[in-house]
Chain A
Amino acid sequence: MSPFRFLFVKEWKQFVSNPFMPAVLVLLPALLMLFVPLLATMEVRDVRLAIVDRDRSTMSMQLIDKISQSGYFVFASYPDTYSQAMDGLSRGDSDIIIEIPEGMERSVGRGEQVEIFIAANAVNSTKGSIGGGYLSSIITDFSSGLPSSGGLASGAPLSIKPQFRYNPHLEYRLFMVPALMIVSIILVGGFFPALSIVSEKESGSIEQINVSPVRKRDFMLSKMVFYGLLGIFAFTLSILIAHFVYGLASHGGLPEIYVGAILFLAFIAGFGLIISNYSETMLQAVFMMFFFVLIFMLMSGIFTPVSSMATWSQYVTYMLPTTYFVEILRSVCLKGSRFADLGFQFVMLASFAVVINVIAVVTYRKQN
């Protein structure tokens, strides 16, 4: 039996000897994929609105109707004055105040400019800004529908009608799901082999291997390949959930997705190897791994758009392989892109995989 084969068999026996690990392998991607996209969403609904209607006219009623029809808002209170509404806002009873000025209907009838005041609580900045945005677009829409009293054709001759391509309903879930597929690969393909090597260091069994004729590269390779296959398994499970639960289609781009996943797995396994080279204990390895994985996840635009980051941090983004992998996944799943469209991303991902594994081998040699 070749060394690689019996080492691989040993990994398998160790893995199944405790039912906890196989359970983690299945439950981790499953729970991650099933619950997180449903619960963690950037969509803003049920914004609580305090309405200060000082006009109390037909027109103000119509405006409020329109707001309620939008479905984004619930009416929290109808205070008489702005200062009362402000008290409510500071108590946290409402998220946004809209103040309709006295005599709005009359002024509009005379063709005068009317200012409607919106105050949003930006402590929850997403709710505040997106809710405020929704509200102002509703009001703009409302005002453009008003008959112009001055006899002019329309107050707003040009209107913008956005069409959101590839994700027509602007669902955050479709943004989130590929990100979570990456998280499950990182956890299985990166954490598992790093921790398994460090646990052999801790238990001393690596010494027994070191005094034997087994070559270190066979030992490392057996771990990387074994946990790489587990990573592919977890990733496949994630794809199936993404397809059947969230309707994410691969558009026939499975080869693209899997080549990307294998390259990324090679990167993250090599990265785990570097961490294990510098860790003596499991605790040390977990913390080091976690630190870098957080950067991989939060700085690479897998959860938040890269374009909304500061310029300098956008450069950091290009130094993280997660960026390229998530671009591949999103382009394939949302746009149906092919190898030809994603050449740059694949080259970058492959370079990362090669460079990190070279570093892993060099640092490994140094440590021993």
Chain B
Amino acid sequence: MDSIQIHGLRKCYRDGVPPAVDLQADISILKGELFGIIGPDGAGKTTLFQMLATLISPDGGTATVEGLDIVKDYRKIRTMIGYMPGKFSLYSDLSVRENLDFFASVFGKDVDSNYGLIENIYCRLKPFEKRKAGKLSGGMKQKLALCCSLIHSPAVLFLDEPTTGVDPSSRRELWENLAELKEKGMTIVVSTAYMDEANRCDRVAMMKSGKFLAIDSPSDIISKFDKSLVAVRSDDMFRLLHDLRSMPETDRCYTFGDTHHVTLKDGTSLQAGEIAARLTGEYGHSGVEARLVKASLEDCYMNLEDR
């Protein structure tokens, strides 16, 4: 059964600027699915979340959450979703426990009845119960925010960039928490700018300029990548990037970790070895290494952009 159905949502903040969100397709998210939305800053992820969480109303299109219309039944939806905004927005001047108690009472619940749901996350916060929420570290703040959005046991959880500004070990923990919640049958929609996190999702939607460019499981997205991808390295990486882009066979070239990834134009048959030879000979690079690599999700994303 579908948990969320979207029929071409559209939101435009001002006349004369391109719409922040303009999904032209019909998208459905299954119950109990961990659905990731990846895209750069300004892609429209937050606006999409705010529409689904009934914070703002769309200019066009419709969507349902748990079978309820996001415009008409917004009041009902609010009792069954959890929304965690990208920016920490609990009460900094209240303590950890006070925040949790408050948000439980906001939903007419008490902390004890749903404690099982947050136990694994909250146990890390327990020693700091009396501390003001504003004085917590970035990772702890996110954990508390997650607890507060879970305390009423929502059917759908919206997480807007939950790992931005959080250290790697806390990020891993958070994703483990999400996996556990998914096990319990919760639908989770999460946005992120980190490609490595997207691999943990059941399906990901790649978003750019308010549109979904592709929706599929991470492995399917990767398997559909049909270009040859070459990783290149040399002693002068900065000049190398420029030189690679000036080669006529190059379709796209971008920095990837400590190498440059190059995709070749359709119909060109250039081998990795030939590229290395060209770079050493024609362009005078030293220490050139070039080899064919398998595409990652990030490569798919980089090459999806302009389609």
Contacts and interface: CB of A to CB of B under 8 A. Distances in A.
Interface stretch (A179-187, A211-219, A253-261, A269-277): A211-219
Given A17-B132, A204-B89, A212-B106, 6 more contacts: A1-B105, A203-B92, A208-B90, A208-B148, A210-B55, A214-B106
Contact of B81 (A18, A210, A211): A211
B13 interface: no
Interface in B115-149: 132, 148
Contacts of A204: 85, 87-89
Contact of B55 (A10, A203, A207): A207
A24 to B, nearest CB: 15
Interface residues of B, number: 26
Given A10-B91, A205-B90, A211 B78 contact: yes
Interface of B: 53-55, 75, 78-79, 81, 83, 85, 87-94, 98, 102-103, 105-108, 132, 148
A10 B97 CA distance: 12
A17 B93 CA distance: 6
Contacts of B93: 14, 17-18
Nearest to B108: A213
Nearest to A18: B93
B103 A208 contact: yes
Interface of A: 1, 3, 6, 10, 13-14, 17-18, 203-205, 207-214
Contact of B85 (A1, A18, A207, A213): A207
B55 A211 contact: yes
B38 to A, nearest CB: 23
Nearest to B89: A204
A209 B91 contact: no
Contact of B105 (A6, A205, A207): A6
Nearest to B82: A211
Contacts of A207: 55, 83, 85, 89
B90 A212 contact: no
A13 B95 CA distance: 10
Contact of B107 (A205, A210, A212): A212
Contacts of A211: 53-55, 78, 81, 83
A336 to B, nearest CB: 45
Nearest to B148: A208
A14 B107 CA distance: 20
A227 to B, nearest CB: 16
Nearest to A204: B89
Contacts of B106: 3, 6, 209, 212-214
B75 to A, nearest CB: 7
Question: Lowest 6 CB-CB distances: which A-B pairs, in order?
Answer: A204-B89, A6-B105, A211-B83, A212-B106, A17-B93, A213-B79
Contact of B89 (A1, A6, A14, A208): A208
Given A1-B105, A209-B106, A211-B55, A10 B94 contact: yes
Interface centre among A3, A14, A205, A209 (most CB of B within 10 A): A205
A163 B295 CA distance: 99
Contacts of A203: 89, 91-92
A3 B106 CA distance: 7
B244 to A, nearest CB: 43
Nearest to A10: B102
20 contacts: A3-B106, A6-B105, A10-B94, A10-B102, A13-B94, A17-B93, A17-B94, A18-B93, A203-B91, A204-B89, A207-B85, A207-B89, A208-B90, A210-B55, A211-B53, A211-B83, A212-B107, A213-B79, A213-B106, A214-B106
A214 B102 CA distance: 12
Contacts of B107: 212-213
Contacts of B78: 211-213
B77 to A, nearest CB: 9
B105 A14 contact: no
A10 B104 CA distance: 12
Contact of A14 (B53, B75, B94): B94
A188 to B, nearest CB: 19
Contacts of B81: 211
Contacts of A10: 91, 94, 98, 102
